[in-house]
Each structure stands twice: as structure tokens, then as C-alpha cells.
Amino acid sequence: MFKRHNLSLGSATLCGALLVSGCANHLSQRSEHEERVERKLLEHTLQIDVGDPKTLELPQRRIRIHEHKAFEVTEFEVTRHYDRYTPYQPWREIYEMPLGAVAVVAGLGANVVNVFALGNLPESVTHDWLDYGLAGLNPFMNAPSHGRAEQNLASIDEAQQDKRIERTALPWNERPVLVKAGNTTHELSTDRNGVLRLNLLESPFAEQDLRQITRLYINVEDEQDNTHASDSLPVSRSLRGKLLEAHDLIYGDLEDDEVSQWVYRVKRLAELGLEEQAVELEQSLIELTRNDPQLQGDFLKLLARDAGRLAAPAPADD
């Protein structure tokens, strides 16, 4: 008696467990397709173009820096396969079992009709109705439902589509550049086009005595992979001899000078071959005398007479 009671209890427990757990109703597998691209860096170099002439004869120079990379590019077509199923929920059997009975009867009837219709009825009527009905009648399985289906990743297939080498050449834009002059190293920066605008008469070189500096050393480095490049730019003897005088002509106090001294500064810069600096100083003096038309007129007259330079003030802003 005790054994029979235990056996009945075990059977009831097993049936209850089956009702609670049930079986998942597997649906058709779903696949997703996408393209994946792998880029492998093969080569990375930096190139410094110090320009011409190779020796620095003027205080300013535009130095161009480019970054070259070579990539191995591989394209893959990736297909992910997902197993789809309808999770079991016991309470749904309350309405699925009667609906399943109706579906089975309808499916059987459809198959009979299909015999007389010479097999022209769609499979969704002759086959799917029977599948739905049998699943509905099964107390341990829910009828298939795409609306509440869940999925698990089953497998991933990758197929290589293309493999090629890509090369890029981009400006070293807005990146640091180290320029060594003697024992002093200055950190400068390129512009958005990868151009370093070097001017020995501007900061930070203007504060340094460059008369004994025969060569500038230029170095760039990418800290991500330690790729680096370096070059040097010789400074001519004649330029080194001009820098100190040019510095005094440009940065010396202007307010205590006579107009004739202003003209001398501009003229002397031009005589030294520093035409760009002469024009900049000329325009600075014109702007300085903007609010004094008489003083500005005297400067322009002397500039034309003593230096042979014709300059005109910029038009006033509206």
C-alpha cells in the first residue's frame, strides 16, 4: 500500500513537472546577413618635406608632413542562423486544446477536398492547419506562435568576398612637431593641411640666439605605434647674420622713433632680402597711424620718397 502510494505520488509529480516545463514548439530557422570588413595595418610611415631650397635662406619656411598607411582589407559575408521556438506556457492549453481540435478537423477536411482539387489547395491549409491542431491538442506543447517566438544563435557562417591592399596618404594635420635648434627643442604644431609654418623671427625662435645654429632638426612621432620620421634643415650663414639685426628692426620700440626711422626700418628689411617682414612692418605702421591721418600721410610720403615703396592704407571698416 505504501509503495503504491509512493508510485502514484511520483507519477503525479512527473506529470506536473511535464505540464510546468512542457516542450518548446520549434519554428523555422531564421537567418541574418551582413558584411564585415577587417583592416590590418601593414605599413605606417611619416614623410617630412622640408621644401626647396634645401638650405634655409629666408627666416620663414612651409614644411609639409604626410602620413602614409597601407592596409590589408578583407571583406566577409556573415550569415547568422537562429533557432526559433515558441516557449511553453501551461495556461495557454485552456484555449489551445479546443482550437486544436477544430484545426485538426479542418485540416483533415482540407486534405480530403485537396484530393478532389487535384492538390491545388495551398500547403498553409492542408499542412499548417494539421500542425497547429496537433500542437494545440498536445498538453505538453503550445501551438506555434510567431508573435511570441524566442530565438537562440545556432551558428555563424563566414565567407570571404574580397581581399585587397588599400593605401592612404593624409596630412599630419594639427599634430605636434619637435624642432631642435641647438640645445633647445621647441614643440610646434601643423595646421589642418599638415603644414608647419616655420619662422625664425617669430616665437619661440625670436627669443633664442640663432647665430651659432647651423641646422634645425625636425622630428615627428605617432605615439600609438612609435612610427617616427626625422629630417634636418641647414641654416645659411648669411641668414644667421641677418637674424639679429632683423629682430631689432621688427621688435624695437616704434613709438619713440621719428617717421624717418620707421621708413629706415622698412627699407633696411627689404635690403636684407626680408621682403615679407618689410611688408608686415609697413602694414603695422600704417595701422598704427590709422587714427592720425597727418602722421600717416607723412609716413607714406617718406616711404615713397626715401624707400621707393608705394603703400596705401587699408579701407576703413563700415
Query: pLDDT digit string (tens) for 226-264?
Result: 999 999 999 999 999 999 999 999 988 877 788 889 899
- The answer to whether residue 219 is domain-embedded is no
Is the pLDDT assigned to residue 304 strictly greater than 70?
Answer: yes
Q: Indicate the range of 18-22, 159-163, 190-194 predicted with least confidence.
A: 18-22
Contacts of 43 by beta carbon, 8 Å cutoff, 6+ apart: 68, 69, 70
The band of 18, judged by pLDDT with boundaries at 50, 70 and 90, is very low
Is 174 part of a structural domain of the chain?
no
Residue 197 maps to a domain: no
What value does the mean pLDDT take over residues 210-228?
94
Q: Is residue 62 part of a domain?
A: no
Q: Of 116, 132, 156, which residue is a domain's last?
A: 156
CA distance 64 to 58: 17
- Within a domain: 91: yes
Domain boundary among 156, 183, 203: 156
Which three cell numbers, joined as nine digits, stand for 131? 500542425
* CA-CA-CA-CA dihedral for 48, 52, 56, 57, to nearest 10: -160
Domain boundary among 113, 131, 156: 156
**Could you tell me the pLDDT band of residue 96, with boundaries at 50, 70 and 90?**
low
Q: What is the pLDDT of residues 191-207, one digit of tens each?
A: 999 999 999 999 999 88
Kindly report the three-state secondary structure assignment for every residue of the chain. CHHHHHHHHHHHHHHHHHHHHCECEECCCEEEEEEEEEEEEEEEEEEEECCCCCCECCCEEEEEEEEEEEEEEEEEEEEEEEEEEECCCHHHHHHHHHHHHHHHHHHHHHHHHHHHCCCCCCHHHHCHHHHHHHHHHCCCECCCCCCCCEEEEEEEEEEEEEEEEEEEEEECCCCEEEEEECCEEEEEECCCCCEEEEECCCCCHHHCCCCCCCEEEEEEEECCCCEEEEEEEEECHHHHHHHHHHHHHHHCCCCCCCHHHHHHHHHHHHHCCCHHHHHHHHHHHHHHCCCCHHHHHHHHHHHHHHHCCCCCCCCCCC
- Within a domain: 88: yes
In whole angstroms, what is the distance from residue 36 CA to residue 285 CA? 62
**pLDDT band at residue 185 under the 50/70/90 scheme:** very high
Predicted local confidence at residue 292, as pLDDT = 87
Range of the domain at 287: 252-318
Split into its structural domains, the chain has a count of 2
Q: What is the mean pLDDT of residues 91-115?
A: 75
Distance of CA 78 to the CA centre of its chain: 24
Q: Would the pTM of this model clear 0.75, i.e. be above it?
A: no
Residue 103 is assigned to a structural domain of this protein: yes
Q: Is residue 41 part of a domain?
A: no
